[in-house]
Each structure stands twice: as C-alpha cells, then as structure tokens.
C-alpha cells in the first residue's frame, strides 16, 4: 500500500522543523554510527532510501570524501528533498529522486547499487510493503554489496531524553525547533497506535532480511543506548 495523502502531508509539515533533530544528541550519534557501519568503496554507487533532509548523505560525504562515485537520495517528500538538495548542492555526485523508494527499487537496474542506507523509514511500512522493501533491496544491491537499515521498533522518548540530558545541559537542551520536532513525533506515535505505521521487531526484520538473501553482519539496539534504545540497526551483506 503506497503512502496516503495524510502521510505525505505529514512529512511535508515535518520537513519544516526536521533538522531541529540535529540538536538532539542521540540523533546526531545515530546518523554518525549508521554511516560508520556503511561500507563505501572507491567508485561506489551509494543510495539513501528515504533520505529526508539529507543528513546521512551529508555525513557520507564528510567521512568518505572522494570515494563514492554517485550519491543518490530517494524520498517521496519534495519538501524534505528541497532541504537535502540545498545541503549537498556543492557536490556534483549527488542527485535526488522524488518518488516512492519501493517504486524506485523496482525500476532501477538490478545489481546497480554498491551500498544502501535507510534510517528511520521502514517502520512506516506495513508487512506487504516491507516485503517489497526487502525484495527491492536484494534486487538493486550487487552481490557482495552492503546495506545499513535502521528503524524504530518501539514508541517513546524516554531513552532519548535521558541520553540527551546526560550530554547537554538542561538550559540549552530543548531549543524551540527541537520541541517542535518532539511534537511532530507525537503524530508518528499516533500513526503507530492506529496501525498506520507498523514497526517490526528485530527478530522479524532479521528473518525478513535473511529470507531476501542478506547475511546479518551485525545487529544492535541504538538511538537512546544499546540497552534501552528505541531503534534497531542491521548491518547487511548481500550474498
């Protein structure tokens, strides 16, 4: 089932404040850690599925320098992409595609991607779309290629707030833009509690990834700590 109009409108509204998240210490660490786990070899074609405002791609450029040959950001929200394009406007290797990532993977040439990353996108999908996601990922990533998939498997802000407040003094912990982001997250939790979004467990995701032909190189809890974090990360290798 494709995203409906309400969901697209939600991402459009969220794009206005989304980068307030960069002020949330656990988010900054999540992006850094996800990108650290992504294999990027010289000449690689790298795709960010559900790139949002381009924070992962930006980090890939910062950490991998000249290595990637092509950086592709795919997102269904034109407003999110507008910010991503602005961030990467200096980089001639970056290009952006405004479409459903499921359609993009279906239409892309097989085995034409070396590395893929997708952070906090998969939880928005129902099981039938997750099946398309894994099938599409296995289709576009070349044998031996890699992927990092990160997604939330539980609602709540407790572990994030705790980690954030451990690292940032209270008086500057919650600037207005970050408060706006946290309010937008309430809409996400509402979608989750109404089953519009369907976060899967680490066990389910692992089994889906393996059935699609990936081996799980590493899996861990993150985004609020390795014990209480609200996200799970899978580092994958295409067999």
Q: Considering only residues 6-25, where is the footprint of ligand SAM by CB under 6 A? A: 11
Q: Which residues contact 75 (CB under 8 A, 6 or more apart)?
A: 50, 51, 52, 81, 84, 96, 97, 98, 101
Task: Please give the Cα distance from 188 to 120 (Å, whole number).
Answer: 11
Choice between 33 and 215, CB closer to ligand SAM: 33
Choice between 56 and 140, CB closer to ligand SAM: 56
Is residue 96 close enough to count as binding ligand SAM by CB under 6 A? no
Choice between 143 and 182, CB closer to ligand SAM: 182
Size of the site for ligand SAM (CB under 6 A): 19
Choice between 95 and 239, CB closer to ligand SAM: 95
Task: Please give the Cα distance from 34 to 24 (Å, whole number).
Answer: 16
Give strand pairing partners of 97. 74
| Sequence-ordered alpha helix ranges (H) in the chain | 5-15, 25-36, 55-64, 78-87, 101-107, 127-140, 158-167, 176-193, 202-211
State in angstroms the smallest separation of the CB of 239 from ligand SAM. 25
Is residue 199 close enough to count as binding ligand SAM by CB under 6 A? no
| H or E element, residue 172 | none
Is residue 80 close enough to count as binding ligand SAM by CB under 6 A? yes
Note the residues at the interface with ligand SAM (CB under 6 A): 3, 11, 50-52, 55-56, 74-77, 80, 100-102, 119-121, 124
């Amino acid at each position: 089932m494709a995203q409906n109009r309400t969901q697209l409108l939600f991402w459009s509204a969220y794009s206005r404040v989304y980068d307030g998240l960069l002020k949330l210490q656990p988010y900054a660490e999540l992006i850094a850690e996800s990108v650290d786990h992504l294999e990027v070899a010289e000449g690689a074609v790298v795709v960010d599925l559900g790139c949002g405002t381009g924070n992962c791609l930006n980090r890939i450029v910062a950490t991998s320098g000249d290595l990637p040959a092509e950086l592709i950001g795919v997102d269904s929200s034109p407003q999110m992409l507008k910010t991503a394009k602005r961030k990467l406007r200096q980089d001639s290797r970056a290009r952006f595609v405004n479409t459903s990532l499921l359609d993009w993977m279906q239409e892309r040439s097989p085995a034409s991607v070396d590395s893929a990353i997708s952070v906090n996108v998969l939880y928005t999908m129902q099981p039938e779309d997750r099946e398309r996601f894994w099938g599409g990922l296995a289709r576009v990533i070349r044998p031996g290629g890699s992927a990092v998939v990160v997604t939330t498997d539980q609602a709540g802000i407790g572990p994030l707030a705790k980690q954030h407040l451990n690292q940032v003094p209270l008086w500057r912990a919650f600037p207005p833009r970050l408060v706006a982001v946290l309010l937008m997250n309430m809409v996400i939790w509402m979608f989750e509690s109404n089953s519009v979004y369907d976060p899967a467990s680490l066990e389910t995701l692992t089994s889906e990834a393996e059935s699609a032909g990936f081996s799980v190189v590493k899996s861990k809890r993150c985004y609020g700590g390795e014990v209480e974090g609200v996200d799970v990360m899978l580092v994958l290798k295409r067999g």
